[in-house]
Structure 1
């Protein structure tokens, strides 16, 4: 995620392991059948890490007292259709994947709400590269998550939305919406990771990308935020405290408080941005503004990053909140 440059080592040391419990019977299902907990696995999450852990996941699933069924998805379209099929019968959908997988699941469940269909509860287990959402929900590991499901420990989670100017579309997000560094540097990071297959190999190209975008005319950005002019290199709207693979960017933010937090990083060069990133890693707080909606405009076209996905926005977007939109398993963050 953005500023992954600073958190590459952090995210891999902090990612929760797949060690615990979730299921008496094990049945890998490609044709959806009824179960209390549909476990939907995206094997491509985290550059394939989620899929490589599948055997260990299935072993761990045997040790829980839950009635479960494993569904393995092939791509995004397949994941959407299987979520819809499982939601017709399962009481819970447990999504094993990354932030993109979680956003897809949330989008599909919100669609069901609008269509007045049955709405299952959601549980998220992070097996991607960032896992900021599950950190914010207070999920320590799979055993902990299973215990929350067994105890039916549910909270009503807020979901963010973004309406873009061009093309005119509405998208949802669970953890964060960003523009600036959140898009420009990560495009280079994703390209490098795709070529190397080794996340640590993206560190140096990421640093080069950071310097390159500041040497271009892309950063810093001149924005209008709710009519107020600002100059920044990064703008992040947060629905939780974590960002970019474990950076605690807005410690007071919560996915349950019916608010969105805006953080602006007002650096004007690559070196000052590096310094700011290190400061956040050592728990320096950045100033956050709290509100329920934000209007962002620019004279230049821009794209926005929603959790793990990037979308074109044109020259303007509006960010808002669906309060208490999802029933999710949650602990204490």
Structure 2
């Protein structure tokens, strides 16, 4: 990291706009690293991702994502496997990736850590998960891939035009719960096929999704493994009882919940769209593999 600039990708609407005033202070602190700081201009997720790719191609020493998991997800697509570092200033609703990799919760403390890491030329290698769909298209994620009930909630909420805000997701949960049923899955773990009927299926590089729900509580983004969780049929009542236990991760004590570890995972099912880091990936099947040390984390 001997030359180059710091690129900042900021989502002003992250965290429902609570951190909108953070950016000037973050930019000022990053400037203490002794590098030029450039704000990336983007009006959509796709534009943000393209801007990150351009910045890496132009010699950025780091992409700093100021926002939540969605903002980080866009930055990951550009920095994964590259020499550019990743800085995360948590300013979203969930911040699951930041929590998993030990980023300070306080935004300015995180910015100071990034600035110091660039100045002192230090980093931490962190694993990422790489997905590939049936068309050979690849995406990276840092936290969790949802491929069951929670993915169905996201897909329904994204189709709804009313209500707005958090109430949309609350309604989506109620609607999906009313129609909840176990679906047949084929889950392939390091080449071993498992045929299961399940409502909940998830693959974790980190332990949490949805703002701290510990879906795979022992997942470690530095162990070179993915944690995979799936349930045997729970029914609507069992699913409703399971959900509150996700916050503490105690659902894994339920005998109907299975957790496995693997380096490669394939998930097949009809009618399911996968979501990773809260972002839509596309319909199953999806192949997932862990890439140890895929990103240079600055903190």
The bucket for the TM-score relative to the shorter chain is 0.7 to 0.9
C-alpha separation between the residues in 2 aligned to 1:190 and 1:269? 24
Q: Is the 2:9–2:71 contact (alpha carbons within 8 Å) kept by the matching residues of 1? A: no
Q: CA deviation at 1:141?
A: 1.7
**Structure 1 vs Structure 2 CA RMSD:** 2.6
1:82 counterpart = 2:46: no
Q: Cα–Cα, structure 1 residues 297 and 83, in superposed 2: closer, same or farther, change >3 Å?
A: closer
Shift of 1:148: 2.2
Stretches of structure 1 that go unaligned for 5 or more consecutive residues are 1-33, 114-118
Structure 1 residue 269 and structure 2 residue 248: aligned? no
Q: Secondary structure at the match of 2:197?
A: strand
In structure 2, C-alpha distance between the alignment counterparts of 1:84 and 1:203, rounded to whole Å:
31
Point out where structure 2 has 5 or more consecutive residues left out of the alignment: 253-257
Q: Give the distance between the partners of 1:254 and 1:260, measured in 2 at CA.
A: 8
Alignment match, 2:274: 304
Matches of 2:63 and 2:294, distance apart in 1: 15
The correspondence for 1:98, drawn from 65, 68, 73, is 68
For these two proteins, the number of residue pairs brought into alignment is 279
TM-score (norm 2): 0.82
CA contact (8 A) 1:42 1:72 kept: no
Q: How does 1:1-333 map to 2 (within 5 A)?
A: 36-46=5-15, 49-50=16-17, 53-59=19-25, 61-62=27-28, 65-67=32-34, 68-87=37-56, 88-110=58-80, 113=82, 119-139=83-103, 140-152=105-117, 153-165=122-134, 167-191=135-159, 195-199=162-166, 201-202=167-168, 204-214=170-180, 219-226=181-188, 227-286=193-252, 287-298=258-269, 300-314=270-284, 316-330=285-299
CA distance in 2, matches of 1:267, 1:306: 23
1:221–1:328 CA distance, 2 compared to 1 (3 A): same
Cα distance in 2 between the residues matched to 1:277 and 1:75 = 32
Once the two structures are TM-superposed, the CA of residue 259 in structure 1 deviates from its matched residue by: 0.6
